[in-house]
Amino acid sequence: MVLGHHPRTPHHHKRYYLLMGTVIVGVILVLLLLNEGGDFNFLTGSSSVDLDGGEKESLLEEKKIDFKLDFNAVPKIREITKTAKIDLIFDKPTNKIKVNEEELELNNLERIEMVLEGFEGEIIFDETTISLKGEASKISLNGIDISSQRKQMKIVLNDLIYNILDLQGVSFKEVTLPSGEGELKLGEKMKYSLEKEAVKVEGFEGEIKINEEKTSLMTMEGKVAKFSTEGEFNLNFG
């Protein structure tokens, strides 16, 4: 029997091209899905993603570390920021305190506790005095709320000498403390004793409490993006 040569039929070619076309389309779809929200370079195979504000903030938050500092020195801070609550305890003030451009009458009060909630504006303070210029959603004096028809009340006070200052839910871009002594805790396990060390903190979020009636003047507790110390031992994070 003579075996003849049978040529390939076009059917095989059609299946081949159909398979290749499906693969190419699939690759393009995968690249498009990977590239959603970013830019993909088909020549280099690299991709860059543009993050919105919330995503950037989330990534920065993941890099922050738990931080607590008990220190016998107080920083000088001047910054426009937001704070959930400001608790001030002071004796009879010598300077004017204005709410909605009206001066508060505090002559009959010897020791005063002022609480501000939802404050937004400029905060200036050091070891002995504080100045505020901004707005708060709620203000109370010795437990009595100040009534106002406005949702946000304007408040201005300058160089108020305080005994206790408690800033809760506050954020500061940078806090620089002079040389001092205290204890620093990082995370859950690391603890350091500081002697004649200067401390610099960046990206702080949390609580700052200053109490003139205690040996350890200031406590900072919250999260930080960066910090460093300068002295006998230098520590760095971030």
Q: Which helix (H) or strand (E) holds 135?
A: strand 129-136
Question: Exposure pattern of 212-224 as b/e (b: 16+ CB <10 Å)?
Answer: eeeeebbbbebeb
**Is residue 25 in a domain?**
no
In a domain, residue 132? The reply is yes
Between CA 83 and CA 166 the distance in angstroms is 10
Q: What per-residue confidence (pLDDT) applies to 119?
A: 97
Residue 107 is predicted with a pLDDT of 77
pTM of the complete model: 0.72
pLDDT of residue 236: 84
Q: Which domain holds residue 124?
A: 63-237
Instruction: Say if 122 falls within a structural domain.
Output: yes
Q: What's the number of domains the chain is made of?
A: 1
3-state SS, residue 114: strand
Give, for all 238 residues of the chain, the pLDDT tens digit: 343 444 545 555 555 555 555 545 444 544 443 444 444 343 333 333 343 544 444 444 558 999 999 999 999 999 999 999 999 999 988 788 999 999 988 877 888 999 999 999 999 999 999 999 999 999 999 999 998 888 899 999 999 999 999 999 999 999 999 999 999 998 888 898 999 999 999 999 999 999 977 767 899 999 999 989 988 778 888 7
Distance (Å) of CA 137 to CA 56, 86, 99, 169:
28, 12, 12, 15
In a domain? residue 27: no
- Asked if the structure places residue 67 within a domain, the reply is yes
Q: Is residue 10 part of a domain?
A: no
Determine, yes or no, domain membership for 48. Answer: no
| 202 within a domain of the structure (yes/no) | yes
pLDDT for 71:
95
Q: Where are the alpha helices (DSSP H) in the chain?
A: 10-34, 53-63
Q: What is the pLDDT of residue 51?
A: 39
